[in-house]
């Protein structure tokens, strides 16, 4: 028996298992060879990056990184919109209406991309705090990354908390720092690969620019509220 046959016997089963990792959940679609190599590289870089960060930041606990990723969850921010709406007139109704519009855009974009890509999440024994349903069970792209970048974009560039420059600058630093930390937490907790987060963050920036053009004035937001709240005419 020659060397090639020995290697085939020795590593054949492992190669088969590796290829099965890149078949979609329904088992009907295999990933092309070139893309599979890229995904392998992404997985290796993610593993090395996680090991590096854990060695440089040994005091960061799982509970801290889990808290950060929870803070960027859509399960948190959608109820926040409802709370802001009922805080009128302290908070203008324009803000929650625009936030809902932005989040719906993000949900649609990320959901469609996840349903199309169907990339499996990294293998981890640490389950997500909120149960993933539908397309959200897939890894690419990161919805936490797109959402937190979008939020930071809105509150630092579109609708700042303060009119005073230095106050807005300080809040913006906190927002972008929070967004970066949430993105890192998704990698360190084994929820996403590096490429998932990078693409998700890029999508968040693009969505932010799009939302800046779609941002509704107080009058327009009020008109939309009146449209949905008006009673149907009696016949």
Question: Which of 13, 34, 30 is CA-nearest to residue 21?
Answer: 30
Active site residue 144: yes
Distance, in Å, from the CA atom of 57 to the CA atom of 124, rounded to the nearest integer, reads 20
Three-class DSSP category at 23? strand
Which residue is catalytic, options 119, 147, 191, 192? 192
User: Which residues, 6 or more positions from 106, have their beta carbon under 8 angstroms from its beta carbon?
Assistant: 143, 146, 147, 150, 203, 204, 207
> Burial letters for 132-165: b for 16+ Cβ neighbours within 10 Å, e otherwise?
eeebbebbbbbbbbbbbbbbbbbbbebbbeeeee
Q: Of residues 144, 147, 186, 191, which has the active-site annotation?
A: 144
Is 88 a residue of the active site?
Answer: no
Alpha-carbon gap, residue 119 to 145, rounded angstroms: 16
Listed in sequence order, the residues at least 6 apart from 113 whose beta carbon sits closer than 8 Å to its beta carbon are 140, 141, 203
| Active site (catalytic) residues | 144, 192
């Amino acid at each position: 028996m020659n060397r090639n046959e020995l290697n085939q016997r020795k590593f054949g089963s492992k190669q088969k298992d590796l290829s099965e990792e890149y078949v979609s959940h329904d088992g009907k679609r295999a990933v092309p060879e070139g893309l599979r190599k890229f995904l392998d590289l992404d997985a290796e870089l993610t593993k090395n990056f996680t090991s590096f960060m854990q060695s440089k930041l040994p005091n960061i606990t799982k509970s801290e990184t889990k808290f950060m990723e929870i803070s960027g969850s859509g399960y948190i921010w959608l109820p926040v919109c409802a709370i802001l709406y009922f805080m009128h007139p302290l908070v203008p109704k324009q803000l929650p209406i625009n936030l809902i519009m932005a989040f719906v855009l993000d949900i649609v974009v990320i959901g469609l991309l996840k349903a199309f890509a169907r990339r499996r999440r990294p293998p981890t024994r640490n389950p997500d705090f909120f149960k993933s349903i539908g397309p959200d069970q897939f890894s690419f792209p990161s919805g936490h990354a797109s959402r937190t970048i979008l939020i930071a974009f809105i509150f630092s560039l579109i609708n700042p908390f303060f009119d005073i420059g230095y106050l807005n600058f300080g809040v913006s630093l906190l927002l972008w720092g929070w967004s970066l930390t949430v993105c890192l937490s998704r990698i360190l907790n084994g929820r996403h690969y590096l490429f998932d987060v990078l693409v998700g963050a890029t999508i968040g920036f693009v969505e932010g620019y799009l939302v800046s053009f779609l941002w509704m004035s107080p009058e327009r937001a009020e008109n939309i509220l009146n449209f949905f709240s008006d009673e149907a005419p009696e016949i």
